[in-house]
Amino acid sequence: LSSEMEPMCLIENNPNEQLRVNQEALKILQSIQQPVVVVAIVGLYRTGKSYLMNKLAGKKKGFSLGATIQAETMGIWMWCLPHPENPDHTLVLLDTEGLGDVEKSNIENDAWIFALSILLSSTLVYNSMGIIDQFALEKLQYVTELTKRIKVKATATKTSEDGEEENSDDFLRFFPAFVWAVRDFTLQLKLNGCPISSDEYLENALRRKKGQPKKLDLAKKCIRQYFPSRKCFVFDRPAGSRDLSELDDLSEKMLSPNFVVQAHRFCQHIYESAQPKMIEGGHLVTGILLGHLVVTYVDTISSGSIPCIENAVVALAQIENTAAVHDAITYYEAEIEKHLKLPTETIEELLKVHAQYEKEAIKVFLARAFKDDDHDYQKELGERLQSKLSELCSRNEQASLDRCQAVLLELFQDLEENFGKGTYSVAGGYLKFLDHQKEKLEQYHLLPGKGIMASKALEEFLKSKEAAAQSILQADRTLTEKEKELEVERVRAEASAQEAKLHKQMKEEAIKMAQEKERSYKEHEAQLMAKMEEDRKKMQAEHEMVMNRKLEVIEQLIIQRIFKMERLISNSVI
């Protein structure tokens, strides 16, 4: 991925129109096969979101900043960059249209832009100005509306008495990490006279406070319950008022030293801590999958429906599992072509190579496949690999036959010429013919590279020459009728013995093929069980994360109640 790639509008929000995916940007996104770390920024318009994202990109310019009171960014813009810390991942930055612009013709899309930022990102940055106070929390009304904008499960969820869906556990599993960036922060980070961290400042601001409006409590509760991790950064004003309009042209020397340090800490946190985008079961999202998610969610919103994470994951699974089967088969075919030379001398040689690359092909499939709950796609892979084996066996047999027939025609060319010349149509000609044939057969048996059809090809060839041999035998006047009869019996007995040998060989090969099918089944089963155990551990980790977050919330409530009781006791004593 080129570091010179420019930002592009991914989701267009044109006046009086529905949200629409930009196909050119989608094509670029879906060309990324690496896992993606997706960082989206949301917040009120004219609060410096684009500048912060340009810092993350390591560039002075990129996302448009604008220098007037009008919002500059419309829709959701995308910038795909090589990840600064992890070369195996791609950093996808999403800069969103400013919320709350009174000049918008479609205010409804603000809520959808916010919801899409959550659905698409692995880290969500909420950008605000000043301090975290009642005004800042009021502007986070979009958080309180998330249950109306996003469904986690396709089936209906239980609803509480106040109408709020009781699915915060599900949101915790699927929602991005939450980072609150407080710009132009002017206060001292102290609480009750004691220094506190910016994270403690955020958590204190999110605590329920007596006498505050229910709407604010709901916003705090939603942030606490929906987001698996929270982080806060405070920033000094970057420059003086006169320089703000040309912020993207200022060198670091002209910026506030504190702001430079704070911006560096913010960027390092994102580079080191922001996780790749994942979906249910800990499956990594690539640029290809993220593109499919974009299309799925935008199409759902445009149709008037509510985006459902579970439905989107199911749709993704179908796309990804189909691709996983294709990848596995493509890998198998390429490796077989590279490492198997036809014809093979034995069936065991072919089966050994097949088994080796079937095992690797299953790994390729399982590395990409997910949510194949009924194992339909793995069954399809198994069937196709068995079909490939049958095709391989047929090709091997045909290659062997072609090789053997060419060899026999070349070896017996002299005998064919002698037939034409009448060399054997004389007294004693039959014994001469037998000597010549024996010599050629010995040469044939000693010749390598004939493959598994050597006996079969020879049997068919000799059968095709049987009439000519019999005519030579009957024309040889030096042999008595009795000798001729015995010779016919001898030839017939040899042919019968050869046929029995071929029958035995075919039976042994059939047994080996049956054993191969059993081995293949056990290989699929073993790798599937290992994959299921890995998925189980991931699900357990997700569950533990949810439980830990719930315990943290409970602990915070207990601490608040203890603090409240201590204060009441202290006041009563006084």
- Cα gap 456→121, rounded to integer Å: 64
- Cα gap 564→572, rounded to integer Å: 12
User: How far, in Å, are 16, 115, 177, 458 from residue 524 at the CA level?
Assistant: 53, 40, 36, 39
- Cα gap 458→411, rounded to integer Å: 12
Of 248, 279, 307, which residue constitutes the final position of a domain? Answer: 307
Residues 155-194 as b or e (16 or more Cβ within 10 Å = b): eeeeeeeeeebebbebbbbbbbbbbbbbbbbeeeeeeeee
Helix/strand/coil for 77: strand
Domain match, 280 and 367 both: no
- Cα gap 104→97, rounded to integer Å: 11
Of 280, 307, 334, which residue constitutes the final position of a domain? Answer: 307
* Model pLDDT, residue 549: 63
- Cα gap 152→147, rounded to integer Å: 9
Domain match, 421 and 544 both: yes
* Model pLDDT, residue 320: 92
Domain match, 39 and 181 both: yes
- Cα gap 45→103, rounded to integer Å: 11
User: How far, in Å, are 266, 307, 330 from residue 316 at the CA level?
Assistant: 32, 14, 21
User: How far, in Å, are 431, 433, 436, 469 from residue 489 at the CA level?
Assistant: 16, 17, 20, 14
Domain match, 381 and 474 both: yes
Let me know if residue 161 belongs to a domain. Answer: no
Cis link prior to 307 (omega < 30° from 0)? no
Domain match, 263 and 400 both: no
* Model pLDDT, residue 563: 59
pLDDT in tens, 533-557: 877 777 777 667 666 766 665 666 5
Residues sharing a CB contact under 8 Å with residue 85, sequence separation 6 or more, in sequence order: 271, 272
- Tokens matching residue 336: 């077989």
What are the residues facing 40 on neighbouring strands?
A: 94, 124
Let me know if residue 318 belongs to a domain. Answer: no
Domain match, 454 and 538 both: yes
* Model pLDDT, residue 193: 83
Output the furthest CA–CA distance in the chain (Å, rounded): 141
Residue 485's CATH number: 1.20.1000.10
Let me know if residue 162 belongs to a domain. Answer: no
Contact between 96 and 112 under an 8 Å Cβ cutoff? The reply is no
* Model pLDDT, residue 296: 95
Q: Which of 11, 281, 8, 284 is nearest to 122 (CA)?
A: 284
Between strands 283-284 and 278-279, the pairing is: antiparallel
Let me know if residue 319 belongs to a domain. Answer: no
Let me know if residue 164 belongs to a domain. Answer: no
For the entire predicted model, the pTM comes to: 0.76
- Cα gap 48→185, rounded to integer Å: 13
Number of domains in the chain: 2
* Model pLDDT, residue 168: 64
Residue 129's CATH number: 3.40.50.300
Alpha helices, DSSP H, located in 105-162: 108-120, 134-138, 141-144, 146-149
- Tokens matching residue 538: 């991931």
Containing domain of residue 502, as a range?
324-574
Between strands 177-183 and 230-234, the pairing is: parallel
- Cα gap 531→528, rounded to integer Å: 5
Residues sharing a CB contact under 8 Å with residue 556, sequence separation 6 or more, in sequence order: 203, 207
Of 307, 342, 366, which residue constitutes the final position of a domain? Answer: 307
Q: Which of 184, 228, 221, 227 is nearest to 205 (CA)?
A: 221
HSE on the CB side for 85, CA within 13 Å?
12
493, with CB counted inside 10 A (0-12, 13-18, 19+), is: exposed
* Model pLDDT, residue 161: 41
- pLDDT, averaged in runs of 10, over the chain (574 residues): 76 85 95 96 81 88 55 78 95 87 64 92 93 81 84 65 53 88 88 88 84 74 84 87 61 80 95 92 90 95 91 92 96 96 94 95 93 92 95 95 95 89 86 91 93 92 89 84 83 84 85 86 84 76 67 63 62 57
Domain match, 187 and 301 both: yes
Domain match, 295 and 357 both: no
Domain match, 284 and 433 both: no
User: What phi and psi values does residue 181 have, to the nearest 5 degrees?
Assistant: -100, 110
Let me know if residue 95 belongs to a domain. Answer: yes
- Give the chain's length: 574
Contact between 381 and 365 under an 8 Å Cβ cutoff? The reply is yes
Let me know if residue 340 belongs to a domain. Answer: yes
- Tokens matching residue 494: 């040899």
411, with CB counted inside 10 A (0-12, 13-18, 19+), is: middle
Domain match, 301 and 346 both: no
Domain match, 329 and 302 both: no
Contact between 430 and 476 under an 8 Å Cβ cutoff? The reply is yes
Let me know if residue 426 belongs to a domain. Answer: yes
Domain match, 256 and 356 both: no
Helix (H) or strand (E) holding 329: helix 309-339
Residues sharing a CB contact under 8 Å with residue 509, sequence separation 6 or more, in sequence order: 347, 452
- One-letter amino acid at 181 equals A
* Model pLDDT, residue 69: 34
* Model pLDDT, residue 550: 64
Alpha helices, DSSP H, located in 447-480: 454-464, 466-475
SS in 3 state form for 272-302?
HHCCCCEECCCEECEHHHHHHHHHHHHHHHH
Residues sharing a CB contact under 8 Å with residue 417, sequence separation 6 or more, in sequence order: none
* Model pLDDT, residue 438: 92
